[in-house]
Amino acid sequence: MRIDILTVLPGLLDSFLSHSIIKRATDKGVVTIRVHNIRDFATDKHRRVDDYAFSGDAGMVMMIEPVDRAIEHLARERDYDEIIYLSPDGDKFTQKTANHLSTLDNIILLCGHYKGIDQRIRDHIVTREISLGDYVMTGGELAAAVVTDCTVRLLPGAMSDETSALTDSFQDNLLAPPVYTRPACYKGWEVPAVLLSGNEKKIAEWKLEQSLERTRRLRPGLLEDNEGEG
């Protein structure tokens, strides 16, 4: 898989790409991630990428030309399955979205900044818009990092235990059950006996019961989504 990230502040992503699962996945060739500075595609000597809105509203707007030139440059080298704009009014990012993105070959993540981007980019160039939630951040770089992280960890070979991601919260619209490790007793706090029993059937039943109880208590809307899908 290849992920190209377009931003006006590429330095914000340096640390994220240099550690943990993302770095291991890139080192192993599981994914190729490239960060591109949109200013490199500006046409004036000041490498300007923003301008005032025609409406006269406060705040600067990312210009269409540098973004279009950047995407055209990338598209000459490969076909992209999705060109995604990280936007507060996009579709809510979910585990289901990450699952879908992990099946694609090439995607572009466009990080917004300032007051937003010229609407023509959204109308004619972007194929999908994704939001992390109902709030506004300074730019789309953190959102791009989240989308990248959630997607890459699902790729075969990204994690040392490939079954781990399959038991994460939200994979089946349920929260994950509680997890424990040694010691089995600490300050009198005991690990549930069933987890020490070695009975795989009873352990599986306990995990499902705990997932359902935790989801019902903390995120009941997920259970309603399951009912709606049925």
Let me know whether 139 and 40 are in one domain: yes
pLDDT band at 3 (very low <50, low <70, confident <90, very high): very high
Last residue of a domain, one of 124, 152, 180: 152
pLDDT at 58 over 90: no
* Residue 162 belongs to a domain: no
185-218 burial string, b = 16+ CB within 10 Å, else e? eeeeeebeeebeeeeeeebeebbeebbeebbeee
**Cα-based distances in Å from 156 to 20, 75, 162, 183, 225:** 16, 26, 7, 32, 28
Phi, psi values for residue 146, rounded to 5°:
-65, -50
Secondary structure class of 71 (helix, strand, coil): helix
Query: How many structural domains is the chain composed of?
Result: 2
- What is the reported pLDDT for 165? 62
Query: Which tokens sit at 215?
Result: 């989801």
- In terms of residue numbers, what domain contains 92? 2-152
* Residue 218 belongs to a domain: yes
pLDDT at 204 over 90: yes
* Residue 46 belongs to a domain: yes
Average predicted confidence (pLDDT) for the chain = 92
Least confident of 69-73, 113-117, 152-156: 113-117
Last residue of a domain, one of 104, 122, 152: 152
How many CA atoms lie within 13 Å of 40's alpha carbon, on the beta-carbon side?
Answer: 11
Let me know whether 37 and 102 are in one domain: yes
Let me know whether 104 and 198 are in one domain: no
- What is the reported pLDDT for 155? 96
**What CATH number is associated with residue 211?**
1.10.1270.20
Let me know whether 173 and 218 are in one domain: yes
pLDDT band at 230 (very low <50, low <70, confident <90, very high): very low
For the whole model, what pTM was predicted? 0.88
Let me know whether 28 and 132 are in one domain: yes
* Residue 157 belongs to a domain: no
pLDDT at 227 over 80: no
Beta strand 82-92 with 128-131 is parallel
* Residue 77 belongs to a domain: yes
Least confident of 61-75, 120-134, 168-182: 168-182
**What CATH number is associated with residue 32?**
3.40.1280.10
Let me know whether 44 and 135 are in one domain: yes
